[in-house]
Amino acid sequence: MAAPMIWIFFGLLALSVPVAHAMIGGVAAALWFDGKPLAVIAQRLYTPTQSFPMLAIPFFILAGNLMMSGKFGVYLINVARLLVGNMRGGMGQVSILGSVMFGGVSGSAVADASALGNALIPVQQKEGYPGGFTAAINSASSTVSVLIPPSIPLILYGLVSNVSIVDLFVAGILPGLMLGIGMFATVWLVAHRKKLPRSPLPGGFKEFRGQLLIAFPAMLMPVFIIGTLRFGIATPTEVSVLAVAYALLISGLVYRDLTFKGIWDASVDTAMMTGAVMIIIMASSTIQWVLTAERVPQELAEWVAATIQNPWMIILALNVVMLIVGAFLDLPAAVLLLGPLFVTIGNSIGLDPVQLGLMMVVNLSIGLYTPPVGTTLFISAAIARVGIGETVKALLPFYVVALLVLMAISFIPALTIY
């Protein structure tokens, strides 16, 4: 039953059928070939929606949308500019630091690429940055958001692998910072070679102090989330609700820019993003059901263990597979599809599931700015109005940095296990 499902799934993908519909189509074909009732699909689609921890996804998305619906984005960019704008290629560095800070609010690379790209790419181009380089900075740096808590992909991985979301959040901080620092160095080197300008924010330390104080309450959100989870005050789902309350409080009382239209727009965006994630979760559960029934994860783990004796080679093989899959599937779909399979393989070689989760998210996030399906790549190129080829050429040093960070967390457990 698994073989026809896999062939039809990839066949539908080749025909540009959306991933979730391709998954459901593959399962439907497998059931039909096996002579089983198609009504089973409805049951399998419904089952994952009853998970209480899954409520954290829409609430974290809503919290990020509420924070970004007002002036916080402007304050965040100004603080980033005050901190790193005086460096060579200052506006490029602002994009990276903004992604680090924005990631602690949104948890979504796509939201980061869209919000910061629209704000920064036009300014960078006016200062003389090559169009392809501006798109490359934005598309690559936005993926830091999937590592800094609250991270939607890490929540999804925790749900399908039964790994503590708290442990994943804490473990994601250091790799996220490593990725950000590597991109800082890349922009600095390119900026010196291309003689890109510095972009200090006028006003000096007095302006710095004022902007920092204004942005500080919103920048505390990731600290609030991690602290509440780490000390066991609340579960991830409860913290996500508290994050929404915190966002409403800060926007309404501190920034005083919360409007009914802003709440409505944030709610609509949240519903759309949640719907896109949920249909993939529902469809992937049908795939997982078929694979589990056919014992595919167990047999695959046994075959890998028997064929590749060295655990280091198995880890390397897993990374290669994820790099290939990430280039063709969106990050949430790839996490949900590969997570259960790779956890079984990882357990067979003693690979910690938290380390595997960070490997998976970093690896698959590279696919977000890799053709042919790179979401942040296409968003950034569209904003910069440049070709994909020009952007990919400018992305080459960012790929090197991302792969170095990936290899570090793949083979140095201390970077992800606490």
Mean pLDDT, range 31-35, rounded to an integer: 73
86-100, 120-134, 226-240, 354-368: lowest mean pLDDT where?
226-240
User: H-helix or E-strand containing 92?
Assistant: helix 90-106
What does the angle CA 58 – CA 405 – CA 212 come to, to the nearest 5 degrees? 60
The pLDDT score that the predictor gives to residue 353 is: 94
43-52, 55-64, 226-235, 373-382: lowest mean pLDDT where?
43-52
Mean pLDDT, range 202-222, rounded to an integer: 73
Cβ count near 418 (within 10 Å) = 10
Q: Does residue 171 surpass a pLDDT of 70?
A: yes
Contact predicate 358/149, CB 8 Å:
no
Rounded to whole angstroms, the Cα distance separating 341 from 376 reads: 26
Q: Does residue 391 surpass a pLDDT of 90?
A: yes
Read off the tokens for 287: 């795939």
Mean pLDDT, range 375-393, rounded to an integer: 90
278-282, 315-319, 367-371: lowest mean pLDDT where?
278-282
Q: Does residue 106 surpass a pLDDT of 70?
A: no
Mean pLDDT, range 320-325, rounded to an integer: 89
The pLDDT score that the predictor gives to residue 205 is: 67
Q: Is the peptide bond before 122 cis (omega within 30 degrees of 0)?
A: no
Rounded to whole angstroms, the Cα distance separating 211 from 198 reads: 19
The pLDDT score that the predictor gives to residue 197 is: 86
20-24, 163-167, 218-222: lowest mean pLDDT where?
218-222
The pLDDT score that the predictor gives to residue 275 is: 84
Q: Rounded mean pLDDT of the chain?
A: 84
Helix (H, G, I), strand (E, B) or coil at 64: helix
Percentage with pLDDT > 90 across the chain: 21
Instruction: Let me know if 113 is exposed, middle or buried by CB neighbors in 10 A (0-12, 13-18, 19+).
Output: buried
Instruction: Let me know if 173 is exposed, middle or buried by CB neighbors in 10 A (0-12, 13-18, 19+).
Output: middle
Please give the DSSP secondary-structure letter assigned to residue 232: T
Read off the tokens for 261: 């239209």
Rounded to whole angstroms, the Cα distance separating 39 from 26 reads: 14
22 φ/ψ sector (left φ>0, alpha ψ -120 to 50, else beta)? alpha
Read off the tokens for 35: 């002579």
Q: Does residue 81 surpass a pLDDT of 90?
A: no
How confident is residue 104, by pLDDT bands cut at 50, 70 and 90? low
Backbone angles phi, psi at 56, to 5 degrees: -65, -30
pTM: 0.85
